[in-house]
A and B are shown apart, each in its own frame.
Chain A
Amino acid sequence: MNGELALVLVATLPLVGALLTVLFGLRGGFIALAVAASISIALFVLILDVAQGGVIEIAVGGWEAPLGITLRADGLALAFLTMSALVMVAVILFAQGGFAPRTIAGKMVEKRASYAFWPLALLLWAALNAIFLSRDLFNIYVGLEMLTLAAMALVAIGGKAESIAAAMRCMMFALLGSLLYLLGVSLLYAAHGTLDIDQIFARTTTANADFVAAGLITAGLLLKTALFPFHAWLPPAHSNAPAPASAMLSALVPKASFYILLRFWFEAVPDLANQAVMWFLGGLGALAILFGSLMALRQMRLKLIIAYSTVAQIGYLFLVFPLAGGDYSAQPWATNAWSAASFHAISHGLAKAAMFLCAGLWIVAVGHDRLDGMKGLAQAMPMTTFAFVLAAMTLIGLPPSGGFTAKYLMLSAAFSAGDIIWVVILVAGGLLSAAYLYRPIAFVFERKALQTTVFVSHRLQAIPLILALAATLLGLASNIPFELLQIGRPFASSGEME
């Protein structure tokens, strides 16, 4: 299998799988698992090929841009693809038992969930892969919409009134975001006649419309990434969905819109990236970190804590803009900041998915997710607790973990650039996340004999543990991912880390 075929498979297999799971509803779980395995193999082949031969690019249908759509696998794309693959495999494994079709008649909710979960999950994956591989802004729009729709449906899959309300609320935000994005894209097309990222970069004229377009696109994507102050829809949505769905939603969905922002500002219109815009984005990120962490400290439900933690952690990602964007992109520390954002996105994805899966297991064990009812769970489920603590380590940024590597690289870039404010933000964020993640751990570690715990199999408990271990391992074996990220990176400066 050569690289190009692998790329095509990675992009299309999830779609095929989704169709198959609709056709063969009863076997949905098994089909999803088979598809997940195949995609992983294809992705592995793709990584090997890119690592040896450099960036792989194909024009769909043989039609070149601007009429055709280009798909490209470079380092950044591969990193995000791998993260999605790991999380999706874990979620699909995790949900095998839970979403199996029930033979109890009359239970409408369960039947719907088992019928709808697999196609939705695979469609989500398909959307993610499409976004990560596309070089065309409109193709990205389609992927983004598919992602949003699949995600919203997953939020509401439980069928409770709160879930549906949460899904409605996030639909409002998401649809508004899509419309803004679409408007921006149309303005760009009107000005330059192309929507291919590289061709936009190579444009010779900069119309005023470009600023407006960039603004609209960014605003739309910020709504979808739930960056402060557009974060209100995220906590209820993620906390009211079933655990595997929350894992996908928190770990993967915001990353896609962030990825698009990264591509847009670093590859499509880097000339528009002046300091004001970059610092504005960084400033919003800083506010997200502070606000999300403070809100997380006040929650009494575990899933809400984890959801607000996502709000905060997304803020970290946006620090890449002031540190590596615009004027700084040629500086030696830009490599560190840029790689830091990727490391952070990936380790957060793995750790957050692990955390939500752990929360799901605990909820199965005690029946709810209130903190004060979770005492003694460390004793009853040590494996899950350990996975949770490992995931917390990545989110706080304690070594060794992918989160620590990201934090270190970002701090290093901030120091090199002389912008100490980001150092303060990063440090404060780390301490705050330690504070709000300590609370559930402390409750769980309190000694108490639990009256009623449903037994959770060790196989299920192993899944979040593996995800958390992967996030930790990312910090130790970080050299290979770091090198991989640099493949195909635009304006890669030759400066090494100081």
Chain B
Amino acid sequence: MITSAMIFGLCGAAVIGIGLYGFVIHRNLLRRVLAFNVIGSGIFLLFGAMGYRSPILGADPVPQALIITGIVVALSATALAVALVVAYARATGQSTLPEDGAEHKTEDKADER
């Protein structure tokens, strides 16, 4: 019998998959941050689905508590990431990271400390 939890779980897995795909395909920083959020949401969905006990007992509340904490953490991370993206765009006018190793070519002038 397919329980509702199973559907949620499968959805969660699908969302994670979509997020991963988005992360790999896109190079635009904002889209990558978005992809992370999607993956995160998928994980939370999965987590919530795992709280399924029998229909009589009701769901396990602990995963829900963990999800809430997780959302807060994801929010802070997203905020920082977006701030960095904006700052980066302001500094360089780019919205994608340069190729690997390009950062090494510039030297460390007197630190701003």
**A residues lining the B interface (CB < 8 Å):** 66-67, 95, 98-99, 109-110, 113, 138, 141-142, 145, 148-149, 152-153, 156, 158-162, 164-169, 171-172, 175-176, 178-179, 182-183, 186, 189-190, 193, 232, 235-236, 239-240, 242-244, 301, 303-304, 360, 363-364, 367-370
Interface SS of chain B: helix
Q: Separation in Å of the A385 CB from the closest CB of chain B?
A: 19
Q: Is B97 an interface residue (CB 8 A)?
A: yes
CA distance A142 to B60 in the complex (A): 21
Interface contact B103-A189, CB-CB below 8 Å: no
Contact partners of B47 in chain A: CB under 8 A: 182, 186, 189
- For chain B, residues 78 to 112, give those with C-beta under 8 angstroms from any C-beta of chain A: 80-81, 84-85, 87-88, 91-92, 97-98, 100, 103-104, 106-112
Query: Would A161 and B62 be within 8 Å (CB), given that A113-B113, A145-B76, A189-B50 are in contact?
Result: no
A158 in contact with B104 (CB, 8 Å): no
Q: How far is the CA of A175 from the CA of B106 in the complex (A)?
A: 26
Complex contact B104–A304 (CB within 8 A): yes
B88–A240 touching, CB < 8 Å: no
Asked if B81 and A239 sit within 8 Å, CB to CB, the answer is: no
27 contacts between A and B (CB under 8 A): A66-B62, A95-B113, A98-B113, A110-B112, A110-B113, A113-B113, A142-B73, A145-B73, A152-B80, A158-B113, A161-B88, A169-B97, A175-B36, A175-B77, A175-B81, A178-B73, A178-B77, A182-B47, A183-B46, A186-B66, A236-B104, A239-B108, A303-B108, A363-B108, A367-B109, A368-B109, A370-B107
Chain B nearest CB, measured from A29 CB (Å) = 13
- Known interface pairs A161-B88, A164-B87, A165-B98; A186-B63 also in contact (CB < 8 Å): yes
Give chain B interface residues in 49-79, CB to chain A under 8 Å. Answer: 50, 60, 62-63, 66, 69-70, 73, 76-77
B 16-55 binary contact with A (CB < 8 Å = 1; else 0): 1000000100000100100010011001001100100000
Nearest residue (CB) in A for B113 is A98
In the assembled complex, how far is the CB of residue A451 from the closest CB belonging to chain B, in whole angstroms? 15
A residues within 8 A CB of B100? 232
Question: How far, in Å, is A379 (CB) from chain B's closest CB?
Answer: 21
Q: Is the CB of B39 within 8 A of A164?
A: no
- CA of A240 to CA of B111 in the docked complex: distance in angstroms? 9
Residue from the set B62, B66, B100, B113 with the largest chain A CB neighbour count within 10 Å: B113
Output the residue of B16, B77, B109 with the most chain A CB within 10 A.
B77
Rounded to whole Å, the gap between the CB of B11 and the closest CB of chain A is 15
A360 contacts which chain B residues (CB < 8 A)? 111, 113
Interface of A is mostly: helix
Shortest Cβ gap from B36 to chain A (Å): 5
Given A138-B69, A166-B103, A171-B80, check contact A368 B108 (CB 8 Å).
yes
The reply to whether B81 and A159 form a contact with Cβ atoms under 8 Å apart is no
Interface residues on chain B, size class: 35 or more
CA distance A30 to B92 in the complex (A): 35
The 8 Å CB contact of A156, one of B16, B43, B84, is B84
The interface residues of chain B lying within 8 Å CB-to-CB of A304 are 104
The distance in angstroms between the C-alpha atoms of A235 and B43, with both chains bound, is 30
Chain A residue nearest in CB terms to B89: A164
Smallest Cβ distance from B52 to chain A, in angstroms? Answer: 9
Contact between B36 and A162, CB atoms less than 8 A apart: no
Chain B residue, CB-CB nearest to A246: B111
Identify which of B29, B50, B104, B109 contacts A168 (C-beta below 8 A).
Answer: B29
CB-based A-B contact count at 8 angstroms: 129
**With A153-B80, A179-B36, A240-B103 given, is the CB distance from A113 to B110 under 8 Å?**
no
B50→A160 contact, CB < 8 A: no
> What is the chain B residue whose CB lies nearest that of A98?
B113
A235 to chain B, nearest CB (A): 8
With A179-B36, A301-B107 given, is the CB distance from A168 to B97 under 8 Å?
yes
Is the CB–CB distance between B88 and A168 below 8 Å? yes
Chain B residue numbers with a CB within 8 Å of A301 are: 107-108
Expressed in whole angstroms, the minimum distance between the Cβ of A261 and any Cβ of chain B is: 20
Contact B87 A156 (CB under 8 A): yes
* Interchain CB contact under 8 A, A242 and B40: no
Q: In the complex, A127→B22 CA distance in Å?
A: 31
**Complexed CA–CA distance, A178 and B108 (Å):** 30
Q: A186-B63, A242-B113 are in contact. Are A161 and B43 (CB under 8 A)?
A: no
Chain A residue with Cβ nearest B29: A168
The CA of A166 and the CA of B103, in the complex, are separated in Å by 8
Q: List the 9 shortest-distance A-B pairs measured between CB atoms, nearest first.
A: A190-B50, A98-B113, A161-B91, A186-B47, A236-B103, A164-B88, A367-B110, A145-B73, A158-B112
Cα distance A383–B87 in the bound complex, in angstroms: 38
Decide yes or no: A109 and B111 within 8 Å by CB, A164-B87, A189-B62, A240-B103 being known contacts: no
Q: Say how far B100's CB is from chain A's closest CB, in angstroms.
A: 7
Please report the C-alpha to C-alpha distance between residue A113 and residue B111 in the assembled complex, in whole angstroms: 12
Contact A113 B77 (CB under 8 A): no
**Chain B's nearest CB lies how many Å from the CB of A443?**
15
Taking a contact as CB atoms under 8 Å apart, the answer to whether A149 and B76 are in contact is yes
From B98, which residue of chain A is reached at the shortest CB distance? Answer: A165
Q: Do B80 and A67 touch across chains, with their CB atoms under 8 A apart?
A: no
Contact call B107/A168, Cβ cutoff below 8 A: no
User: What separation, in Å, do the CA atoms of A242 and B112 have in the docked complex?
Assistant: 7
Q: Please, how many angstroms separate the alpha-carbon atoms of A162 and B47 in the complex? A: 37
Select A161's contact among B69, B85, B92, B113, beta carbons within 8 Å: B92
Q: Are B110 and A368 in contact (CB under 8 A)?
A: yes
